[in-house]
Amino acid sequence: MSDFRPDQIEPKWQAYWQKNKTFKVEEDLSKPSFFVLDMFPYPSGSGLHVGHVEGYTATDIMARFKRARGFDVLHPMGWDAFGLPAEQHAINTGTHPRDTTVENIATFKGQLQALGFAYDWDREINTTDPDYYRWTQWIFLKLYEQGLAYIAEVPVNWCPALGTVLANEEVIDGRSERGSHPVIRKPMRQWMLKITAYAERLLDDLELIDWPDHLKDMQRNWIGRSQGAEVDFKVDAASANGLDANIRVFTTRPDTLFGATYMVLAPEHPLVDDLASDAQRDAVIAYRDEAATKSELQRTELQKEKTGVFTGAYAINPVNGARIPIWIADYVLWGYGTGAIMAVPGHDERDWEFAKAHDIAIVEVIAGGDVTQAAHTGDGELVNSDFLNGKAVADAKKTIIAWLEERGLGQGTINYKLRDWLFSRQRYWGEPFPILHREDGQVVPLPEEQLPLTLPDVERYQPSGTGESPLATIDAWVNTVDPRDGTPARRETNTMPQWAGSCWYYLRYIDPHNDEAPVDPEKEKRWMPVDLYVGGAEHAVLHLLYARFWHKVLYDIGVVSTPEPFQRVVNQGMILGVTYQYFTSPEGEALSYKEVGARTDLSPATIPADQVEWKNEVPFHPEHGVELEEIVEKMSKSRGNVVNPDDVIAEYGADSLRLYEMFMGPLEQTKPWNPRGVSGVHRFLSRVWRLTAAEEGLSDTIVDAEPTDDMLRHLHRTIKKVTEDTEALHYNTAIAAMMEYVNFLYKLDTVPRALIAPLVQMLAPYAPHTAEELWERLGHESSVINHLWPTYEEKWLEDDSYELAVQVMGKLRGEITVPKDADEEAVVALARQNEKVEEHLAGKTIRRVIFVPGRILNFVAN
């Protein structure tokens, strides 16, 4: 017997794998292919925490398992390395973002290698490598050629302090997520991608892929398909300084047009300035400026107070000629629909609340509720609606749409909540656009042979102060000529968002060194679509939606052969950290158990766990009756509850960390980190080691003997359970099955070698370092990963006996163990040996025996 020493075993096998390129993709066309993919990380300065490790371990297990099952497996890793954090670090420290990125990647790569992940590092990619972003730029040019990339003036989240546009998700309560700087809404010239042109296909093709229903629903809700009508409301020129204009709205409820008692425009709507009366102009301007400081999430929050300002102008309801007021309100967004709505307060809760707040008329047009008390949003017959009266809602919709179309006042249409993708960022550290703005006003693409257009080396990264990126200040790079005819031109100074490189990276893994195309067509056909894609739920909508959009464009132009990129997607659950609620002194000093004593001048506070110095094993003070509570919450540096995998590896080894994270619970479930759990699985691995290994070679308990039938039944049931659960990503129950098997082996005086080898093979995807060492000690010269997965035989899954219920006069009196092939006479004899059964048969005459093999034995007696 020898001690289990991960600190010696793990570096040995990591060096072996690296030297021998054990995980290099074979490209063996005789084998079925399996592409398993991680959502590649942004290499931040803080490195990995144990939450990241969960998803990477899950894919690594599947990659190793599939390889052992005879598949040619592609399991790559790379870096999503463009983005704002590296640029902000450059501004703060003067370090080039490229240097920061290289340093961070080295940290991440070292951590991943220390965990023993089976990546083919020859396929490593980096989105900031010009050889990579050359093809990101090439794809953008294809989008441009297809009319899917265009320039527009659109309202954006502008952060003056960061000097860039931010996505909605990067704005929290009107401030930037990074740095908490004020963010305002302002119109700016931006590159847009026409993702809306693919809205219907993005919806329909969800039926082609194996994703969780909730994930598909999130995509459907984001796209937001709705059927209704566009309706034109004529501006009452007399109330709007003679303005001759129509305001178009989209509504899913054209049947309620007779109940429209006011209109609401987004504060950014281009007609607002012309509509505002002299009396209302100052209020309109003030309200619009205030709305510009709010994020879209704040503006559309359902629970918020419904604010707005009357413009002073009116519109004409096209169905009844009614003159209705035009308001602006921040809950209507310019860019959603038409940026204007017709408001029907009798039958829309938000409109009802707004009408009540601002004393606007409420008209009932659907019978069935009391609109003076609340909006009636249910079904019913039309009332107060002229030619629609008495109709059901569905019929009324058809009738009013036909009526509008006949008179040129509107038309039936399908609308989407999805908006075109704002694709510009005003920063340095991103892919340059391969676009030239010629002196003659033409906007032209850079010729493909001039790709990649690389970033210039600069010494300062501060924003230009004009709303343009830092690239705008580099005259030698910006000023150029169109290579086609020498016309003076300026380069596009915006850069692409971080999303760009991550939209297609999975394809580059297939053919990472191709200088002629983003991917070879034959290789693409072999590997696509991705069989399993695992990552965090935070990417459930945007990244997946954007990648699907780009993939469909590439499909349309013949670059890829599948309509969807990811056949199966799994979101791993979040791993939560722990902080502690306990007492501090009034001065804020953290106190230990003994220091609390009998003091009463204490206050509860949440203190990061790494700041707590416990001086008593039991976190409880009997005099105060207050237990120190563990608070489970999301891991973050600010909470001080981040667990570094390096620390866990140093104490328990990488295999224990991998095994624990998979044993915590179902992969998709959110789970709290428990350091005691790591020690538990470490003990399990130690038991496997002690069972198998000696100081040199194998334990004396391992013998070359034939297993008994009972041993083989335990083995083959375990193989079946671990195989099926691993295939289904039920890793926690697969580990539990191996634990039960080890418990069985410990009951044996000696263990036949034939029982140990399959255990090591099953353990290999989960605890690969330990398995490699034990496999070598079992006498194998090549890596365990090169050997096929053990198989089970059906005959060993069946019991040679079963439990049988025994009744006397129909009442259960006992249970007996019966040999599988026992006949009725033998079963009766066994039953008569059961004390409880015999007790109830005493003094009775058995008239009849009812025996149903495998189910029941019943004595009929009196």
Annotated binding site for ATP: 637
Side by side, the strands of the sheet bearing 479-481 are 443-445, 435-438, 488-491, 479-481
What SS3 state is found at 112? Answer: helix
Round to whole Å and give the CA distance between 732 and 714: 19
| Sequence ranges of the binding site | 637
In 10 A of CB 75, how many CB atoms? 25
Tally the residues of the chain. 862
DSSP states of 413-444: EEEES---EE--B-SSSSPBP-EEEETTS-EE
What SS3 state is found at 334? Answer: coil
Query: 603-607 and 575-584 as β-strands: parallel, antiparallel, unpaired?
Result: antiparallel
In 10 A of CB 26, how many CB atoms? 13
Q: Quick one: how many helices (H) and strands (E) in the chain? A: 27, 35
Of 342, 349, 350, the C-alpha closest to 317 is 342
Of 681, 631, 676, the C-alpha closest to 654 is 681
β-partners of residue 848 are: 860
Residues with Cβ < 8 Å from 432, sequence gap 6 or more?
Answer: 137, 453, 454, 455, 471, 491, 492, 495, 496
Round to whole Å and give the CA distance between 402 and 170: 43
Cis link prior to 452 (omega < 30° from 0)?
A: yes
What SS3 state is found at 283? Answer: helix
Q: Is the dihedral of CA 833, 839, 843, 844 positive or negative?
A: negative
Round to whole Å and give the CA distance between 760 and 756: 6
Phi (first) and psi of residue 810, to 5 degrees: 85, 0
Round to whole Å and give the CA distance between 88 and 84: 6
- 360 is written with which tokens? 């606007």
Q: What does R_g of the chain's alpha carbons equal in angstroms?
A: 35
Phi (first) and psi of residue 693, to 5 degrees: -105, 150
Of 35, 181, 128, 740, the C-alpha closest to 455 is 128
CB 123 within 8 A of CB 25: yes
β-partners of residue 226 are: 415
Q: Match 């096929």 to its residue by tokens.
A: 788
- 405 is written with which tokens? 């179309």
Q: Is the dihedral of CA 360, 361, 364, 365 positive or negative?
A: negative
* Burial class (CB within 10 angstroms; exposed 0-12, middle 13-18, buried 19+) of 764: buried
Round to whole Å and give the CA distance between 138 and 434: 8
**Cα angle value 839/845/851 (rounded, 5°):** 80
β-partners of residue 421 are: 193
> CA separation (Å) from 536 to 418, 556, 572, 583, 826?
22, 29, 6, 35, 60
Output b/e per residue, 716-754; b: 16+ Cβ within 10 A.
bbbbbbbbebbeebbbbebbebbbebbebbeebeebbee
- 55 is written with which tokens? 């998803």
* Longest CA pairwise span in the chain (Å): 116
- 432 is written with which tokens? 């340059």
